[in-house]
Every structure is written in C-alpha cells, then in structure tokens.
C-alpha cells in the first residue's frame, strides 16, 4: 500500500465551553512520519463535512485516528465513524484513548466501523501500525492493538507504557494552539499540558489503573520547563493546567520545575495525593506557591477510613490527613480542590451521608477548599468495590450502541444512580450540592462576579447553617439565572 495521510480526530468533548487542547492527538502526531491533519469537533460545525474534506486532501492509504473518552465524545464518535466508513470504505478507522482501552473487546466486537483499537498509550504503537499498513506487513505482532479477524476478536495485548522522556516533544510548529488558549480561574490565557504518564498507585475505583497499571513515567523537570517557556513565548500564556494524573509524585521534580518557571509569572494547577503532599516540606510548598501554584486537585475520596481502605488508596490515607492538608495548604495560599466519590458499596446510604457530613468539616477546616462530588461508577479494575457492585447486579453494556443510551452517558459522567442506589439518594446528593454550591460558590467559575457570589451566599445561609437541603428551588432558580457552572460538570 502507498503512504497516504492520517486525519486525527477529536470528537466534541468540551461540554459547551472553550475547547481543551487535544494533547492525546498531538502526542500521537509527534511520533508519525506520515502527513497528518487534526480535525477538532469542538472547533468545527459539521464533523462529517470537516473529516470528509480532510480525508480528501490525502491520496493513498488514509487513516482516521479517533480519540474517544466515554460520554459525549463517544456519542459523536460512533455515528460519525459509521458515516465516514459508509462514504470511504477504504479508510482505516483506528480508535484510541480511555474508552476503547477499557472496553476494547466490546468496541472490536460490536463497532463494525472501527478497524483497529489501540490499547493504552499508543505513542509507539501507532507509528508501528502505520509502518505495517505502508509495507503490508502483519500488524498482529505489534503490542497494544485489537482487531476483528474471521469474525472473532483478536488482540496483541497491552503495550509497555512509553517513557515521556524518550518521546518527541509536541509538534508546536505544525499546529496553531491559539483556539485552545482559554480564560480560567488561573488566568486570562490558560493552556493545558501533561508531563507524565500513569500513577504509581492502584486505587480500585480509578480509570487510570486501566490505562497505565501502576506505572509512573515522567518528563524531566528541564523538559517541562522548556515546554512551558515555549508555550509562553509562542502564546503568551499566563497560566497552565497540568493534566497529569498525579503531578506531585516527586517532590524534587516539582521543586525543580517551580525553580525553573519562577520568572515566567504563570499560575498553575495540578492533581495530587493528600498523603504525598502531607509529607512535603514547608520549603517546597512555599517554593511551589511562589512559582504560581494556585490550586491542587486532591483525591480526598471519602470521609470514611474504611471506605478509603476498601478503595485500595494505597498507603495509610485517612480523613484526618485530608483535614490536616487542607488547613496546611491555606498557610501557603494554595487552594485545595477536594474530589469525593460517594455512594460506595456495601452501604451506599451510610457512605453518602458520612461523606456529606465530612465535607462540612473540610469546609470548616478551610472554607476556601473547592468540593467536587461524584457518585461511584465502577471502573473495570478488580477489587472489593467492583465485586460488591457486581454482586448487586452491575454489568457493563455488551455493545457500543448501548453505551450511547442516556443512562450509560450519565454513568460515564459519574452522575448516575446505579441499581444499588435508591433514587432518593441521588436527589439527596443533588440537593446538598445545590446548597453547598450556593453557600460556598466555586472560585473555578471565572464568570461568577463578586456581587453574584454574595447574593447566592445570602440566599443559602439559612439552609447551610440549619442543614436543610430539601427542595432548594429558590437556589436552583438563582443558579440558573446566574448560569452557575458546577466544578464537576466542567471538570475531568
């Protein structure tokens, strides 16, 4: 076959706000020597027309490489790929990313428009697949792929997670990132960046384990600093969101990054673990804060020590640690953003109520703490939680089409009431959130001005203090009028 071109497609993902830089596709593009183009549905009106135009620009073997997260992206990816395959039967459609990595068997078996699935980080796998297509060799020997053959599903297993240190830098000269520079709580000109793959832990409710299986491989501090300097020079960014699953694994690396970017005048955000950060020295936290660290997303997960143990959080994380860290971060003017997973088996009701009460304690320990609440949505990670859910009848859909139903879309966004949760529990969570978000409006919504915050807080005060969460209709109305954006609907 002759070398043609690769169209890398990012289905719509940004849930109505300014799009987020498609790092997955840029990372893939960095390693390929075929001509390529990126189509981002977040930037174009009609994805089929845009993909068709992009594909027609190439001759020879053409590949449509699609990144797919569960939820809204999947909802667009499936019908559009079907239509593209109908119009261009010879185009090789490859899916990669979290959804096909986790559900590769169902995708390969039931999405007839997908020719090949890339399992896991495909920075090495994808170029090898292109070479095999070009030379007509058997791609079945390349680790990290799944495909259909003679009516059955085949896979070459998982590929080793590549080391970002050894990978080419993002192809900044080949693509204009200006449409992705956004206003956020961090600044007027924010871009996202990811400096590592994986996470050393294996929390059994977490999707990351399925992608990286407890490995953590990071770029050097020098590499990160060089990239931020390049983004500053090219796009005049004033802030960065680090999308690493666990940016704060290494204290010395973060300290070196902080020293290296201190003169850039950028604010930054990243995700980390409570127990890791508790062990850090005051010097490092102060250095990080001086370099612009504004907010840390923390997996606080639960107000119950037993649930934390059941989640296999690793180490000895306790709710007391969360309280200690949020109070400590306040001394450095770093805002903690605590994420919780509620409604965990075996007793979802008690679990939810216990953690809602704990959220109030966290708010007392540091009122600036941001709170993000999710319902437990099983990830395919073996462990006590998944087993308990399965015992209560939980099963993943057995076709990709079934994932498009409203129920499973909600599941993907971690807002669904599972069969083991009484519907009233979900209502309880929503009502609590309504009152919490009104009395403590998030600082992550840059459009919410000071007077609006005062108004919301005033309206909600009696409910918050009296613990009266039922039917907060007046707050729902006020939040709708102010177009309040809850942090978990805009988050990751």
Residues engaged in binding ligand B12 (CB under 6 A) = 10, 13-15, 20, 22-24, 27-28, 65-67, 69-73, 94, 96-99, 102, 118, 121-123, 126, 192, 194, 207-208, 243-245, 379, 412-414, 488, 492
The entry of ligand SF4, ligand B12, none that residue 194 binds, CB within 5 to 8 Å by partner kind: ligand B12
Apex 202 CA angle, 20 and 416, nearest 5: 60
Residues near 186 by Cβ (< 8 Å), separated by ≥ 6? Answer: 238, 239, 240, 241, 267, 268, 269, 294, 295
- Cβ at position 297, least distance to ligand B12 in Å: 9
The entry of ligand B12, ligand SF4, none that residue 215 binds, CB within 5 to 8 Å by partner kind: none
Beta bridge partners of 152: 149
- Cβ at position 225, least distance to ligand SF4 in Å: 23
- Cβ at position 64, least distance to ligand B12 in Å: 9
- Cβ at position 206, least distance to ligand SF4 in Å: 3
- For ligand B12, the closer of residues 227 and 365 by Cβ is 227
Name the one residue in this structure whose structure tokens are 């796009």: 235
- Cβ at position 186, least distance to ligand SF4 in Å: 21
- For ligand SF4, the closer of residues 9 and 216 by Cβ is 216
3-state helix, strand, coil in the chain (%, to 5): 45, 15, 40
The entry of ligand B12, ligand SF4, none that residue 246 binds, CB within 5 to 8 Å by partner kind: ligand SF4
- For ligand SF4, the closer of residues 76 and 212 by Cβ is 212
Angstrom CA distances, 286 to 291, 329, 339, 434, 450, stand at 9, 10, 23, 34, 28
- For ligand B12, the closer of residues 126 and 420 by Cβ is 126
Q: Given the rule CB under 6 A, which residues bind ligand SF4?
A: 199, 201-203, 206, 208-209, 245-246, 273, 299
- Alpha-carbon gap, residue 337 to 326, rounded angstroms: 9
The entry of ligand B12, ligand SF4, none that residue 203 binds, CB within 5 to 8 Å by partner kind: ligand SF4
The entry of ligand SF4, ligand B12, none that residue 14 binds, CB within 5 to 8 Å by partner kind: ligand B12
- Cβ at position 215, least distance to ligand B12 in Å: 13
Contacts made by residues 253-259, CB under 8 angstroms, sequence distance 24+: 253/218, 253/220, 253/221, 254/221, 254/284, 254/288, 255/284, 255/287, 255/288, 256/221, 256/222, 256/225, 257/221, 257/224, 257/225, 257/291, 258/284, 258/287, 258/288, 258/290, 258/291, 258/293, 259/287, 259/291
């Amino acid at each position: 076959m002759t070398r043609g071109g690769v169209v890398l497609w990012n289905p719509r993902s940004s849930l109505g706000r300014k799009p987020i830089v498609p790092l997955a596709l840029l990372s893939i593009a960095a390693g390929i020597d075929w001509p390529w183009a990126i189509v981002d549905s977040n930037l174009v009106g009609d994805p089929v027309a845009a993909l068709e135009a992009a594909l027609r620009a190439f001759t020879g073997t053409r590949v449509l490489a699609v990144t797919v997260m569960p939820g809204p992206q999947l909802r667009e990816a499936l019908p559009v790929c079907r239509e593209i395959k109908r119009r261009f039967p010879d185009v090789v459609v490859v899916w990669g990313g979290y959804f096909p990595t986790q559900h590769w068997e169902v995708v390969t078996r039931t999405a007839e428009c997908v020719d090949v699935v890339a399992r896991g980080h495909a920075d090495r796998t994808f170029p090898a697949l292109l070479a095999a297509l070009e030379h007509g060799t058997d791609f079945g020997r390349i680790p990290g792929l799944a495909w259909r053959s003679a009516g059955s599903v085949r896979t070459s297993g998982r590929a080793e997670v590549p080391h970002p240190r050894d990978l080419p830098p993002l192809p900044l000269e080949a693509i204009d990132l200006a449409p992705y520079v956004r206003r956020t709580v961090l600044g007027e000109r924010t871009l996202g960046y990811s400096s590592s793959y994986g996470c050393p832990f294996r929390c059994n409710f977490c999707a990351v384990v399925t992608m990286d299986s407890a490995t953590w491989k990071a770029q050097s501090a020098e590499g990160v600093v060089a990239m931020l300097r390049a983004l500053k020079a090219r796009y005049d960014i004033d802030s960065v969101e680090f999308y690493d699953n666990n940016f704060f694994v290494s204290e010395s690396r973060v300290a070196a990054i902080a020293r290296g970017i201190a003169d850039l005048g950028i604010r930054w955000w990243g995700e980390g673990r409570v127990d890791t950060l508790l062990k850090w020295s005051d010097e490092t936290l102060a250095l990080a804060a001086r370099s612009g660290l504004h907010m840390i997303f923390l997996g606080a997960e639960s107000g119950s020590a037993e649930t934390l143990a059941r989640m296999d959080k690793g180490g000895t994380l306790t709710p007391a640690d969360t309280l200690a860290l949020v109070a400590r971060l306040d001394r450095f003017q770093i805002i903690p953003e605590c994420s919780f997973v509620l409604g965990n088996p075996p007793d979802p009701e008690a679990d939810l109520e216990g953690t809602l009460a704990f959220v109030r304690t966290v708010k007392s320990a540091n009122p600036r703490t941001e709170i993000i609440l999710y319902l437990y949505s099983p990830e395919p990670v073996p462990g006590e939680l998944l087993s308990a859910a399965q015992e209560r009848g939980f099963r993943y859909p057995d076709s990709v089409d079934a994932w498009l139903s409203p129920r499973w879309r909600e599941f993907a966004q971690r807002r669904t009431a599972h069969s083991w949760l009484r519907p009233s529990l979900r209502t309880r969570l929503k009502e609590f959130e309504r009152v919490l978000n009104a009395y403590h409006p998030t600082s992550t919504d840059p459009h919410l001005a000071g007077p609006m915050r005062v108004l919301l807080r005033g309206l909600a005060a009696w409910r918050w203090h009296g613990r009266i969460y039922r039917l907060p209709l007046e707050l729902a109305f006020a939040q709708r009028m102010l177009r309040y954006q809850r942090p978990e609907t805009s988050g990751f």
